[in-house]
Amino acid sequence: MVSDRDVRIGIGGIAIESSTFSPLLSTRENFSILRGEEIAASYPYFENGIFEGRDDVTWLGTLKARSIPGGPVDAASYQAMKGELLERLEQALPLDGFFFDIHGAMSVVGMDDAEGDLVSAIREAVGPGCVISAGMDLHGNVSEVLVGAVDIVTAYRQAPHVDAMETKARAVRNLLMLLDEDIRPHRAWARVPVLLPGERTSTFWEPGKTVYGKLTESEAVDGVLDASLWVGYVWADQPRASATTVVTGTDSDAIAAEAEKISRCYWDARQAFDFGVPVGDADWTIDQALSLNQKSVIISDSGDNPTAGGAGDIPLMVERLLARPEFASGERTAIVAAVPNAEAVTTAMTAGEGAEVTVTIGGVNDPVNGYSLELSGTVYSIYENDPVGSDIVVIKSGGVHVIVPSRRKPYHHIREFENLRLNPKDHDITVVKIGYLEPELKEAASSAFLALTPGAVNQDIPALPFERLQRPIYPLDPEMSEPELTPRIFGPIG
Ligand SMILES: [Zn+2]
């Protein structure tokens, strides 16, 4: 395969995690779009456009679009991004390889398998002779169409995703290995009928830790090139939504055996997956936090978590905190991060720091699961031009500091609080609209709770209004019988 000329490898993809249960559509404006040479330059493992010393490779970036999670992508935005990617791909031909960089849980209005649609179009353009390697999030949903169109696919093995960049580099390494050794592998694909949220399937505690730990054992087997397992994405009412195993390799018997082993391991562990922290309704978590009588207790407002696709402006936790005399009076203090509302930001910025304001928050992004709430208080701080949240204000009502960004913004890092003259360690409770805590917040939390709150990513999975899932599936059908886990084998392409 490697001839005397450069190896030509294309890169591209569209990445978003989007909930079909969110009323807030994602549009092209929500995506950061990179083109051409900007793409290779965006990965930390490329140095001056060269990957791991491989100066025989020419990287041809097409289009790489990425958005923070949200609601379904509107069809016109998807078609526009797909169209531009394909146009740039045509200009890059002929290609020896293509690195398909996606999340895997993109919902597009009117489509059941957006990534399958996109990769099929890419395969058609590049032809069967081009090797395609995909790198994904383990919260993606993997259809037979997707696996049928790629030569190899790998996914994160840790959640929280501390191995995100390492995984993308592995996907590129996989691609170069196939090209160098002139291999077109088989793929064993198995759907595991289990659909659990990421908050219960972290690899930082059991049983996720053990199940995911086994992937390296499978990968060490002769004839296996990559072993991957997807938890899948719960908040997508689509037939493909499910846990999935894909094992890629040169020996079809070996990959079939390993895929079945991994799938069986995940299936057998299904009832043991649980939240890493105590869970309860909003008021219960506040009760628990207060009873501890300590600073820096963190509560996840999990149903409205924008990092999983929630609309992010449900003001429930602000309302529940202010309903308590301790917080209304200022005797106890809290931070709520965050409830976005552009109009409230304008009002507060116009009034200025220290001024008294009355604003309305909530009910804009998610009027279905949420509602609006009047908030009166002092403008505590202002931070302008945040790259994610744009202009941000803090309105202090009683003892509750409500962070109000202009746009949706998750809070994972202490310095983002410090930008607003806040620190969770100075307050009794900090509410974050995220699911499991990212390492830095986990470190800062004296105790943590997860509130089962309403929203587009409600953690009460059996209560979600699913209509199009493949049934039976756990936990919706808890009494279902043992599933068939024999994988489907896809033969070499080309
Ligand atoms: Zn993920």
Each residue's pLDDT expressed in tens, for the chain with a length of 494 residues:
444 458 999 999 999 999 999 999 999 999 999 999 999 999 999 998 899 999 999 999 999 999 989 999 999 999 999 999 999 999 999 999 999 999 999 999 999 999 999 999 999 999 999 999 999 999 999 999 999 999 999 999 999 999 999 999 999 999 999 999 999 999 999 999 999 999 999 999 999 999 999 999 999 999 999 999 999 999 999 999 999 999 999 999 999 999 999 999 999 999 999 999 999 999 999 999 999 999 999 999 999 999 999 999 999 999 999 999 999 999 999 999 999 999 999 999 999 999 999 999 999 999 999 999 999 999 999 999 999 999 999 999 999 999 999 999 999 999 999 999 999 999 999 999 998 888 899 999 999 999 999 999 999 999 899 999 999 999 999 999 999 999 999 999 98
CA of 138 to the centre of ligand 1 (A): 6
CA of 75 to the centre of ligand 1 (A): 23
CA of 66 to the centre of ligand 1 (A): 13
pTM over 0.85: yes
CA of 12 to the centre of ligand 1 (A): 19
CA of 159 to the centre of ligand 1 (A): 7
CA of 326 to the centre of ligand 1 (A): 37
Nearest to 336 by CA among 288, 393, 374: 393
CA of 306 to the centre of ligand 1 (A): 12
CA of 265 to the centre of ligand 1 (A): 20
Check residue 108 and give its pLDDT: 98
Give CA 271 to chain center in angstroms: 23
CA of 78 to the centre of ligand 1 (A): 21
CA of 235 to the centre of ligand 1 (A): 12
CA of 91 to the centre of ligand 1 (A): 32
CA of 348 to the centre of ligand 1 (A): 34
CA of 220 to the centre of ligand 1 (A): 25
CA distance 46 to 416: 28
- Reported as half-sphere exposure (CB side, CA atoms, 13 A), residue 437 has a value of 25
CA of 56 to the centre of ligand 1 (A): 33
CA of 324 to the centre of ligand 1 (A): 35
- DSSP E strands: which ranges in 144-242? 152-155, 186-192, 224-230
Nearest to 223 by CA among 260, 176, 185, 261: 185
Nearest to 309 by CA among 237, 385, 371, 373: 237
CA of 216 to the centre of ligand 1 (A): 20
Q: How is the chain split into domains, by residue range?
A: 7-274+485-490, 279-458
Check residue 5 and give its pLDDT: 58
Q: Is 446 exposed, middle or buried (0-12, 13-18, 19+ CB in 10 A)?
A: middle
CA of 161 to the centre of ligand 1 (A): 7
- For residue 196, what are the contacts with CB-CB under 8 A and spacing of at least 6? 231, 232, 234, 243, 270, 273, 461, 474, 475
CA of 232 to the centre of ligand 1 (A): 9
CA of 51 to the centre of ligand 1 (A): 25
CA of 269 to the centre of ligand 1 (A): 20
- Report residue 174: phi and psi, to 5°: -55, -45
Give 63-109 as a 3 state SS string.
Answer: EEEEECCECCECHHHHHHHHHHHHHHHHHHCCCCEEEEECCCECCEC
Check residue 291 and give its pLDDT: 97
CA of 364 to the centre of ligand 1 (A): 26
CA distance 93 to 90: 5
CA of 137 to the centre of ligand 1 (A): 5
Q: Using an 8 Å Cβ cutoff, are 372 and 315 in contact?
A: yes
Check residue 438 and give its pLDDT: 86
CA of 104 to the centre of ligand 1 (A): 9
CA of 319 to the centre of ligand 1 (A): 29
- For residue 221, what are the contacts with CB-CB under 8 A and spacing of at least 6? 254, 258
Q: Residue 181 to residues 53, 112, 177, 325, 350: CA-CA distances in angstroms?
A: 18, 35, 6, 69, 63
CA of 143 to the centre of ligand 1 (A): 17
CA of 230 to the centre of ligand 1 (A): 10
CA of 386 to the centre of ligand 1 (A): 24
CA of 139 to the centre of ligand 1 (A): 5
CA of 426 to the centre of ligand 1 (A): 30
CA of 4 to the centre of ligand 1 (A): 40
CA of 280 to the centre of ligand 1 (A): 23
